[in-house]
Structure 1
Amino acid sequence: MSNSQPKPHLHRRTLLTGAAAGLAALGLPRGVFAQGAGPETTKAVLGYIALTDAAPLILAKEKGLFAKYGMPDVEVVKQASWGATRDNLVLGGGANGIDGAHVLSPMPYLIATGKVTQNNAPTPMYILARLNLDCQGISVSNDYRDMKATAKAGALKEAFARKKAEGREVKVAMTFPGGTHDLWLRYWLAAAGIDPDRDVSTIVVPPPQMVANMKVGNMDAFCVGEPWNAQLVNQGVGYTACTTGEIWAKHPEKALGMRAEWVDKNPRAARALVSAVIEAQQYCDKPENKPEVAAIVARRQWFNVPVTDIAGRLKGDIDYGNGRVATGTPYGMKFWRDNASYPFKSHDAWFVTEEMRWGKLDAKTNVKALVAKVNREDIWREAAKAAGVAAADIPASTSRGRETFFDGKVFDPEKPLAWLESQSIKRAQA
């Protein structure tokens, strides 16, 4: 080899340095080339349900953020229901399913343990990020308008019992067995002394079908994310008893869930996805961007609903539909502030414990071990750094600590069985 030719390793270093500089000039993160390679793949297929908390995935696509982090071929694909999301996650992107999704936070645990899959076959899953805090709702039919139900559902207990005694079924709807809406609804009912398995019939309805079903009298109450509670009010069909933030302030809600197989095969791509989502969450959370966010997700190709069904509650303005109107409440959707994006293990411990409470998971489940298997907050931390998140905005602990609920009960993530013991209505015996 001639002395005038560059040595191979110097030549490669020069190429990588030049490529990194080129990415920086385009506004792309140097982290893509920090270890000498970008994402293993430029593509991932991500599912979403038409709910406002899917906004980070939609905005990451619309604003070119997936492309910015080296994944221009990410698809964000609408799912018909949470059941369809589960089925497509089990299939995987390689079999015409999906690689990951906007999911109800407990879903990866239920899928990973095979509790909600065909033949109870486990499909390993990871949670890579939380997508939002708060902004779900519990809505009640106008048949109970005079009851003026709030976060405290005691006024409905006698009315539900009377209807049942007359031989009529009391139906309450949620979106997926063991999902967040199921858990919020159950908590709300049980706190009022209403057994969600014995005193009422709990049915499953996809989010976009909630309003239509209540309109024709198919249910007495439901729990769902926005914009469907607001749409119910706007159409005069029912009223909002409470937002879920009134049950548990700053509660975790949706997550970015991915098939473990995909993440293990594409770790750099997984970090790139999360970096893009983090940047989208920061964008969505800025007050000046909320009108644009509402306008984008309302579009026909995403939600196909009026912007007015989304805009108010997105920022915390709530017309409950029964004369109560509150503006500037703390119950608007949080995408970034209050560490909304970080997947605290302590929050997943609550979800797993509630699944045990209602018999969705075995009462002897090792909560800490299961959370450690599914929750990949370590990937979030790496992605946050790549996205330029300040160290002060990255939680120092995987626990947010003890959590207090509207009924005064306190969940200590270090003592999940004590939480079970404190509940009078449950299926599991701690």
Structure 2
Amino acid sequence: MTPLSIAFLPLTDSAVLVAAREKGFAADRDIDLMLVRTTSWATVRDRLVFGQVQAAHMLAPLAIAVTLGLSQHPAALAAPFKLNVNGNTLVMANRFAAALDPDVARRSADALGTAHDFAAAIGLYHHKPVIGVVHRFSSHALMLRYWLGYAGIDADRDVALRVLPPSLMVEALRTGEIDGFTAGEPYGSVAVAGGLAETVALGPRIWQRGVEKVLALRRDWMEANADTVDRLLQALAAAAAWCDDPANRNELAVLLARDDYVGQPAAHILPALSGRLVLRADRSAVDVPDALLFHREAAGFPWRSQALWIYSQLVRWGMIGASPEHERQAAEVFRSDVYRRALGETGEPMPGASLKLEGAVTQPMAVGGHRGALTLGPDRFFDGAVFDPADVAGYLSRYRAGGSDA
């Protein structure tokens, strides 16, 4: 069997990797999969860049940032598979949430109105709110900036963003080090269940099919090990289908609850898997059917347009200068060609194109696919914006640098 090590963080969206190992999907493809539990995204990055592991469960923007030379250790990375779509929440301490609309279900469904509500609450708060983010180059942080910016909130001036590992967020909230945080599940659910916080915004209500974690590989290793990569992607696709099957949710939650994986009670892991989230401890769960996707709607397909949207946010928030070379490098991190090579003969439904207008699908839509019918779910941004990957400059011109929608 081919030995293969993958670094991961203890998050619900590590599910596909865990299932690939524990349910035998990797072994079925002659891969001896070792999962290396890690605490921080910086450590995951370093393990991959320095060759301690062959692959990593990685924040999609971090893979792009490392490739663009924005990280401490630049390297050419590739992401031929998305491990999940959505999965994040923004929770705020009860003392801050008290200034918001008390109807938690309504405010979580209305991301646009809640952004303005949040801006007003900042003015009433006793100090500049400190919001935990898992990494500067995370989907969480970029979507938070995007959401706050719509309401005229400058994330570098009006709030303080503090980087913490996801597993330390709840304790930091408990001790008052932060006033809230945005992170992948199950940590938002843990904070809510403990009566420490209320859910203020949901990732899928900011971007309905927002890109999240990817399988990241060093590009040189990927190109030198094509057969192993193909077998790995086939195993992950099979594992993702198993994870998305409602019949397997309880078993998956129990599996992830183990100390060597997420290490949190299954009762806190199950809400995101089932799409039934408790937004405040004294309220019933609400339906969020797109809370976390692993397989359906070609969730694993690495759309290059999504890589370019991430790049546009790095430019918008002053993290990198715009240039044709940077744009090309960012797009090439998401390797839809490798995905097609690995899965093209498996019967896995996949899009016929590698780019699309992001935010343009408002209801389920059948699209031209390769080997099987494919329906894409709504991918709307909360503000109704549409991102055209062929006109990144035009998209950016709609926004004042580092500010709200112009």
- Shorter-chain TM range is 0.7 to 0.9
- SS of corresponding position for 2:247: helix
More strand by share: 2
Partners of 2:264 and 2:156 in 1: CA distance: 33
Which AA in structure 2 matches 1:131? Answer: L
Indicate if the aligned counterparts of 2:90 and 2:182 stay in contact, CA closer than 8 A.
Answer: yes
Indicate if the aligned counterparts of 2:3 and 2:34 stay in contact, CA closer than 8 A.
Answer: yes
The residue aligned with 1:10 is none
Stretch moving more, 52-61 or 367-376: 367-376
Which AA in structure 1 matches 2:395? Answer: W
Q: CA deviation at 1:105?
A: 0.8
Residues 237-316 of structure 1: pairs in structure 2 closer than 5 A: 237-316=196-275
The residue aligned with 1:54 is 14
Partners of 1:242 and 1:261 in 2: CA distance: 39
The residue aligned with 1:101 is 56
TM-score, normalization by structure 2? 0.87
The residue aligned with 1:28 is none
- SS of corresponding position for 2:31: coil
Q: CA deviation at 1:64?
A: 1.7
Matched residues, number: 375
Which residue of the other structure, out of 28, 46, 63, is the alignment partner of 2:23? Answer: 63
Q: CA deviation at 1:323?
A: 5.5
- SS of corresponding position for 2:27: helix
Indicate if the aligned counterparts of 1:359 and 1:427 stay in contact, CA closer than 8 A.
Answer: no
- SS of corresponding position for 2:322: coil
The residue aligned with 2:81 is 129
Stretch moving more, 325-334 or 355-364: 325-334
Q: CA 1:413/1:324 → structure 2, altered by over 3 Å: closer, same or farther?
A: farther
Q: CA deviation at 1:425?
A: 5.4
The residue aligned with 1:179 is 138
- SS of corresponding position for 2:70: coil
The residue aligned with 2:357 is 401
1:91 aligns with 2:50: yes
The residue aligned with 2:362 is none
Partners of 1:186 and 1:377 in 2: CA distance: 28
The residue aligned with 1:382 is 341
Q: CA deviation at 1:45?
A: 1.4
Once the two structures are aligned, what percentage of the paired residues are identical? 30
Structure 1: where are the runs of 5+ without partners?
Answer: 1-40
TM-score, normalization by structure 1? 0.83
Which AA in structure 1 matches 2:190? Answer: Q
Partners of 1:110 and 1:402 in 2: CA distance: 20
Partners of 1:325 and 1:246 in 2: CA distance: 19
Q: How well do the aligned residues superpose, as a CA RMSD in angstroms?
A: 2.0
The residue aligned with 2:65 is 110
Q: CA deviation at 1:85?
A: 0.8
Which residue of the other structure, out of 350, 354, 376, is the alignment partner of 2:309? Answer: 350
Indicate if the aligned counterparts of 1:185 and 1:222 stay in contact, CA closer than 8 A.
Answer: no
The residue aligned with 1:335 is 294
Partners of 2:265 and 2:242 in 1: CA distance: 22
Indicate if the aligned counterparts of 2:62 and 2:138 stay in contact, CA closer than 8 A.
Answer: yes
- SS of corresponding position for 1:423: coil
